[in-house]
Structure 1
């Protein structure tokens, strides 16, 4: 390790030769984890100079993540600015070197068919979606700048300053309309205001198809996944939402539709106004505070827990009397991970309530209070959460 320290000192003060730089990288690459930990602890344990203290939080996060990937035990928090670093650039270079080596080791282990246990500090989803225009062109909405992003059939398509999608219908709009599709991935959500003024909040792993302008007596959209609708009132034009097994008719109202296929049922919950849910087996008229549950053979009307049903749209994760499979299905979509089960899990119902922007570790901490255990892994396919007794 003495040779690495010598080379590293030359690397930081800019006196290292190309040959010595290659030797340094080779030595770090081939060093064992314990030696690397000792080296980092030596330089990461001193108080930072006053003029570099603003970097404390950033380096804390970086090195905590690295240690989590190496599966090291947690230790008391230490100041992680290197006391002898004279330049900010040195910190950036140092971080890059360690990240490169750690990631290279993780990649080689994953490719060999193994897994690496990683931190549960997985961030929550964000505003992410893809808009597909009528001509097939795709636009990444989270990367698009505010302002006009496209135009079709006499309609301007905009991304607002608030980061939402909106439509502006111009004069002399054609009698026929193009169809747009907005899709959110796992770990994504987005809000769109349709041409008639209806606002739709789209949850993760969901898709909404709609015309760029509503022509005729009906305003019709198609949904896969989950969305909350605030329908603009228009007595002359019924608003309809089609899913895999049902159709919803409204004039002006607020309601939520959960139609994820892996749930095996479609839940429509009414917050205000009235809606009619129509299926092949019958129909139900809802009043505020009610919901229908539709499966392949039946439609059931019941009282709803509005707080729980609307929680995701209001920025919360809320469960009351939910089984672990229901919770984990939501976790997989919102945190963009896979979930597998090991062993025989107890038949237990759960309650949980946290902010939706909280990281995964915060939710798992609540669930562990009910004697459910978790392990986060990195595999060749991605992040995998193991649920076990």
Structure 2
């Protein structure tokens, strides 16, 4: 029986055509031992099956699985290290998988039903209270708000455009874009600023920016690419605080069920201000954490993890199980229950957000520390 180090060495050399006939036989025999070989399987599916099976034999800590940083290890080693916590890294980059991992369901039969991932869906609430289900709306202009047209330009994209018509009222006209659990949507404001909204989020905004500032109100999570306008700063108002910018790229996570509001800056500069007088300045690569009465704390940001939702991945870096399950609840529109008191478990690794929920849960279950049951739109955590 090969060790995982010997298998990695043989596998990598086989990809490069450097294995002897005898070594190729050893490699094939090792893969056959997993009982995963199926003539109908593609090479990609076979590799995933092998890596998933290897995870069961890698030793791990009882409560917290600590893995080496993926950028600091060789590509092949990274595969097995990340699989130790039930997730996949390939070739130093995150790769999206399109094929199902049927073998996992066989290994964890407690998961009997499946739930599909989120799609581009949202409800647009116009100034008069009219609600438009955007996933059912056809492309093109769907409304006119003041001197602004509202257009659905493509799958998951809503665009506001100013017209040459004079405003019909001097009062600000507000719209709200509401993203349900199990949804996501993109929005372009009339000033050209672009916003990506995560599941279970809501954004209230004027259909035309007037006055000294461009203010929007956020619940949930969104990534902003703000159009620069030095004369009219952009302000994101969230519960208990404000994010003030001129033109920059940043992410705000402000879910009601999270303990803090996290603002992460990718480009430019922002000022965070609470409802009192406290304020902090963020530079690129920093994260401002606001916890209400405890004020602000500035940390070095894990940009890759923060932006994973927008880039189509779950990335967990020693993240506790309850936090992971909150993300799963929002993305898959499913309720979470715990069969008993939860152990303090943490996981590290990555998987595509566009997998069905069973594939995400089975990856976690392969650690041997937790199990799940799915029934009637509810996931029960058993550990």
* Corresponding residue for residue 366 of structure 1: 363
TM-score, length of structure 1 as denominator length = 0.68
Q: Distance in 2 between matches of 1:243 and 1:189?
A: 19
* Corresponding residue for residue 285 of structure 1: 281
Q: Distance in 2 between matches of 1:273 and 1:222?
A: 21
CA deviation after TM superposition for structure 1 residue 366, in Å: 1.8
CA deviation after TM superposition for structure 1 residue 118, in Å: 6.6
CA deviation after TM superposition for structure 1 residue 217, in Å: 1.6
Per the alignment, do residues 173 and 319 of structure 1 end up closer, same or farther by CA in structure 2, a change over 3 Å counting? Answer: farther
1:356 and 2:358 matched = no
Taking only aligned residues, the RMSD between alpha carbons, in angstroms, comes to 1.9
Asked if 1 retains the 8 angstrom alpha-carbon contact of 2:195 and 2:223, the reply is yes
In structure 2, the gaps of 5 or more residues are 1-104
Q: Distance in 1 between matches of 2:329 and 2:223?
A: 20
* Corresponding residue for residue 127 of structure 1: 120
Q: Distance in 1 between matches of 2:166 and 2:191?
A: 13
Of 146, 158, 164 in structure 1, the residue corresponding to residue 151 of structure 2 is 158
Of 139, 145, 148 in structure 1, the residue corresponding to residue 138 of structure 2 is 145
CA deviation after TM superposition for structure 1 residue 120, in Å: 4.0
Greater helix proportion: 1
1:293-312 to structure 2, matched below 5 A, reads: 293-297=289-293, 298-312=295-309
1:91-106 to structure 2, matched below 5 A, reads: none
Q: Distance in 2 between matches of 1:225 and 1:217?
A: 26
Give CA-to-partner distance per residue, 1:173-193, whole Å, 9 cap, x none: 424331000000000000000
Per the alignment, do residues 341 and 162 of structure 1 end up closer, same or farther by CA in structure 2, a change over 3 Å counting? Answer: closer
* Corresponding residue for residue 55 of structure 1: none
* Greater RCO (CA < 8 Å, at least 6 residues apart): 2
Of 369, 374, 387 in structure 1, the residue corresponding to residue 381 of structure 2 is 387
* Corresponding residue for residue 241 of structure 1: 236
Q: Which runs of 4+ in 1 moved over 4 A?
A: none
Of 297, 311, 315 in structure 1, the residue corresponding to residue 312 of structure 2 is 315
Q: Distance in 1 between matches of 2:133 and 2:350?
A: 32
CA deviation after TM superposition for structure 1 residue 119, in Å: 2.8
Q: Distance in 1 between matches of 2:382 and 2:155?
A: 41
Per the alignment, do residues 375 and 348 of structure 1 end up closer, same or farther by CA in structure 2, a change over 3 Å counting? Answer: closer
CA deviation after TM superposition for structure 1 residue 261, in Å: 0.8
